[in-house]
Each structure stands twice: as structure tokens, then as C-alpha cells.
Structure 1
Amino acid sequence: MSLISLLPFIVIIGAMFLMTRNAKKKQAEAAQMRDHMTPGTGVRTIGGMYATVKEVGDDTVTLEVAPGVHAIYAKNAIGAVLDDAEYNRIVHGIGDDLSDTPVVPDDASSLTEAPAEGEAPKLDLGKKDEPKKDEPKDGKTDGEADAK
């Protein structure tokens, strides 16, 4: 066998080695991050819920998900440990300088008319024409309905 025929196998084995090394490195970083959780720290779970750490056990962590509401999670369910400034910005809106920015709908062309001062914009939802109260739903007049 020549070295050229073994080259694809060597490349595949090398790629597998690099991928497993990167995965192990990420797992070690995640474990180190979880070990630095202390009571009072803000966290985000892998499900996207923000909470405050109340107690840290060996394999579990007690989170306060709302004032007075505690839930027990596995430590590996913690996706990120947040610093105080980021947690307060996300959960409480503290430090958000975007509060003065006006909210614009995705499709501003759907606004039918400019709202009055302090009034919410009226949206054209594309309602179909409904029959008038006196007109039957089938679109026939009273004379046409009597003829049949």
C-alpha cells in the first residue's frame, strides 16, 4: 500500500480528533461556567428562561423564576451565567437606552391613516365585505328570494 491510498483515512481520523477535542473543550468551559454560579447570580436556562440562582447543590440548582417562585433545575440545564448588568438589562430593562426609540411595525404601509395624538394606529386587516344587515347573506334581494 502506498501513502497516497492511506491519505483519505489519515485526513478523516485527523478531522475526528479535532472535532472531539473542540467538543471536550466546550464541555469543560460549560462545566467551569456552571461551577462559578453563586446565589444571586442571574442565569439563562437552555430553554431560554431567565432566573436568579437561590441555591447551588452538587448536581442541581434552585432558581427563582418569579418573585417567591422557586424551581429546581439540573446544573447542566443552565445555558449561560450572566453578569449583573446584562441580567438587569434583559429582565428588568434597567440600563436600556432604547426606551425613547419609537416602535415601527414591520410593514408600515399597512397603516390606513395617521393616528391622532396619543391614539394607537389603525391597521387595515383586509376584512372582506360583509353583507348589510337588511341584505341576505346569499346576495339575493327579497323579491328574488320570494320568486323561487
Structure 2
Amino acid sequence: MSLVTLLPFIVLIGAMFLMTRSAKKKQQAAAQMRNDMQPGTGVRTIGGMYATVKEIQDDTVLLEVAPGVHAIYAKNAIGAVLDDAEYNRIVHGDDDELDADGTVVPDDASSLTAGESTDEDAADDVAKIDLGKKAEDAAPEDAGTKGSEIKSSEVKDAKADGEGDAK
């Protein structure tokens, strides 16, 4: 066999070696991260739930998912160990950068509508739109179809009875 025919196989084996090596490095880094967990650390599970570590066993972790609510998870279910600042930003909405700027977020939307008219004033300003046709607009007289003329009140009555829904 020539070197030309063996070359694709050599490249394939080398690529597989590199892929498995990088995958092993990622697994080792994840295992090291899980081993470095301490009680009180904020974590994200692989399912996307944020919790605080309460106890660590050999293969399991006791997580506090809400105040007073505890759940036992496998250590492999921990997707990321978060630092305190990131955990507080995500879970509690604490953001030190915004506090330093003096940005204030209102608890309700009342400040957004300050100085505008009330709902009653707005209701008076809205134009009334009548979507029903007038009896004289239903069909032109020159069309020659006097039997097809339908009054708008008959259409409304038919819809109220449920006849308009059947097709």
C-alpha cells in the first residue's frame, strides 16, 4: 500500500486523538470545579436551576433551591459553580454597577405615565368604530340581487345564535 492511501487514515486517527483529549480535559475541569464546591456557594444545575450548596457528600449535593426548600442532586448535575457576585446578580437581581451609577428602577409603571391623561380621558378621546354594515350598504340596488340583501341586524342575530360559525 502506498503512503497516499494511508494518509487519510492517519489524519482521521490523529483527529480522533485530539477530540478525545480535549473532551477529557473538559471532563477533568468539570470534575475539579465540582470538587472545589463549598457550602454556601451558588451553583447552576445542568437543568438551569440556580441554588445554594448546603452540604456536600461523596456523590451527592444538598441544594437549597428556595429559602427552606432543600433538594438532593447528584454531583454530576452541577453545571457551573458561580462566584458570589454573579449568583447574586442572577438570582437576586443585585447589580453593583447599576447602584454605583445611581440608576433607580421604579417598582411600578406609574412614573412612566406621569402627566398623561387618565383612562377615562383616554376613553373619551378614542373614536368609536362601527364595524357593522348599514342596511343600505349591504348590496347595491343595481346589482339585481334583491334576494341577497341582508340587514346588519340579521347578521348579528345569526352570529349570536351560532349560525355564522358553521361553514
**Is TM > 0.5 for Structure 1 vs Structure 2?**
yes
**Structure 1 residue 136 corresponds to structure 2 residue 160:** no
Q: 3-state DSSP class of the match of 2:157?
A: coil
The one-letter code of the counterpart of 1:62 is L
Provide the residue aligned with 1:68 in structure 2: 68
**TM-score scaled by length of structure 1:** 0.70
Residue 101 of structure 1, CA deviation: 7.2
Q: 3-state DSSP class of the match of 1:65?
A: strand
Provide the residue aligned with 1:33 in structure 2: 33
Alignment gaps of 5+ in structure 1: 103-114, 120-128, 140-148
Residue 67 of structure 1, CA deviation: 0.2
* Match 2:114 to one of 113, 117, 128: 117
Q: Judging changes above 3 Å, is the alpha-carbon distance between structure 1 residues 117 and 17 closer, same or farther for their aligned structure 2 residues?
A: same
Q: 3-state DSSP class of the match of 1:10?
A: helix
Identity of aligned residues (%): 73
Superposition RMSD in Å: 3.0
The one-letter code of the counterpart of 1:117 is A
Q: Judging changes above 3 Å, is the alpha-carbon distance between structure 1 residues 116 and 89 closer, same or farther for their aligned structure 2 residues?
A: closer
Distance in 2 separating the partners of 1:15 and 1:135 = 72
Q: 3-state DSSP class of the match of 2:63?
A: strand
Q: Judging changes above 3 Å, is the alpha-carbon distance between structure 1 residues 69 and 2 closer, same or farther for their aligned structure 2 residues?
A: same
Residue 94 of structure 1, CA deviation: 1.0
Distance in 1 separating the partners of 2:19 and 2:59 = 27
The one-letter code of the counterpart of 2:114 is E
Provide the residue aligned with 1:89 in structure 2: 89
**TM-score scaled by length of structure 2:** 0.62
Provide the residue aligned with 1:109 in structure 2: none
The one-letter code of the counterpart of 1:39 is P
Q: 3-state DSSP class of the match of 2:11?
A: helix
Provide the residue aligned with 1:56 in structure 2: 56
The one-letter code of the counterpart of 1:15 is A
Residue 137 of structure 1, CA deviation: 4.1
Q: Judging changes above 3 Å, is the alpha-carbon distance between structure 1 residues 39 and 136 closer, same or farther for their aligned structure 2 residues?
A: same
Distance in 2 separating the partners of 1:118 and 1:46 = 48
Compare the two structures and name the one with the higher helix fraction: 2
Residue 32 of structure 1, CA deviation: 0.1
